[in-house]
Amino acid sequence: MNALIFGANGQDGYYLTGLCKIKGIKPIGVSRSGNWLKGDVSCYNEVEKLIKEYTPTYIFHIAANSTTRHDALFENHATISTGTLNILEAVRLFSPSSKVFLTGSGVQFENKGMPISETDNFEASSPYSVARIHSVYAARYYRSLGLRVYIGYLFHHESPQRKEHHVSKMIALAVKRIAAGAIEIIKLGDISVKKEWTFAGDVARGIFTLIEQDTVFEAVIGSGVAYSIEDWLEQCFHLIGKDWQKYVKFKKGFISEYKCLISNPATMNALGWTPTVEFIELAKMMIKGS
């Protein structure tokens, strides 16, 4: 068995690759950067060539620039929307027995501050959400043609593999430097924002839980537990015995995209999946591994 992983250079690719190896599945990572097969999911010819060559058991489309900014409009469309169509059409033509996993997101749903499930309404609130919504409808169409296409709606998840511009990693790195004697100030926006802090390795397990069965094809993959950025600050600074308020300044005029983003993972829980890494363990892991 083998698995094509489009977007292998991110944290999800890292943990999916590791899980594949544990399960005896050969991972074939594809990315525009990093030490992987060089490939662009938005180019149909490249995608077709890979699928024809490997006829993979599993295909994971996790490539994306995870930003809702308007200036990423065309990049999001190319990677998420066009990338999805490229994969599904190539699978239909050349590897119809492949199981395909597509990444969805909590931000593509209408958010009223309550736990979100896979049956809730979509909301086209950003170019990123538009691309994700398009990807879902493409999946449903190809599913009607007989393909096994799964969508995992992912909420915020973290790990030591997180890129440095994410607030979780930025804080963890700063805390590690401060613990070593550095004098610095962390500039932040609205720290009352609540979101999930699920371990990315647990999310990767959830992806496999979903794709290894044939009953549920769309599900929210999240912890269902939200913490604020202030909670993260308190936890990280508590681990080094310092008061976070002495090291933080706030950006003036900052407006957060939402106040709370939280999942209802009941469907995944019913499939037997739950996260294993707690908030405090994640903080320890990210400070140590940063």
Q: Dihedrals φ, ψ of 35, to 5°?
A: -90, 60
**Could you report the per-residue pLDDT of 97-149, keeping only the tens digit for each?**
999 999 999 999 999 999 999 999 999 999 999 999 999 999 999 999 999 99
Per the CB < 8 A criterion, the answer to whether 96 and 146 are in contact is: yes
> Residue 263 gets which letter from DSSP?
B
> Which of 68-77, 180-189, 264-273 ranks highest by mean pLDDT?
264-273
String of b and e for 55-77 (b: at least 16 CB within 10 Å)? ebbbbbbbbbeeebeeebeebbb
As a whole number, the mean pLDDT across the chain is 95
pLDDT at 2 over 80: yes
Q: What mean pLDDT comes out for the span 149-178?
A: 95
Distance CA 162, CA 219 (A): 23
pLDDT at 290 over 70: no
Report the pLDDT value the prediction gives residue 35, as an integer from 0 to 100: 85
Distance CA 48, CA 43 (A): 9
Domains and CATH numbers, the chain: 2-157+196-221 (3.40.50.720), 163-195+225-261+277-289 (3.90.25.10)
**Could you report the per-residue pLDDT of 261-272, keeping only the tens digit for each?**
999 999 999 999
Q: Which amino acid is at 198?
A: T
Distance CA 118, CA 287 (A): 33
Report the pLDDT value the prediction gives residue 69, as an integer from 0 to 100: 84
Report the pLDDT value the prediction gives residue 252, as an integer from 0 to 100: 84
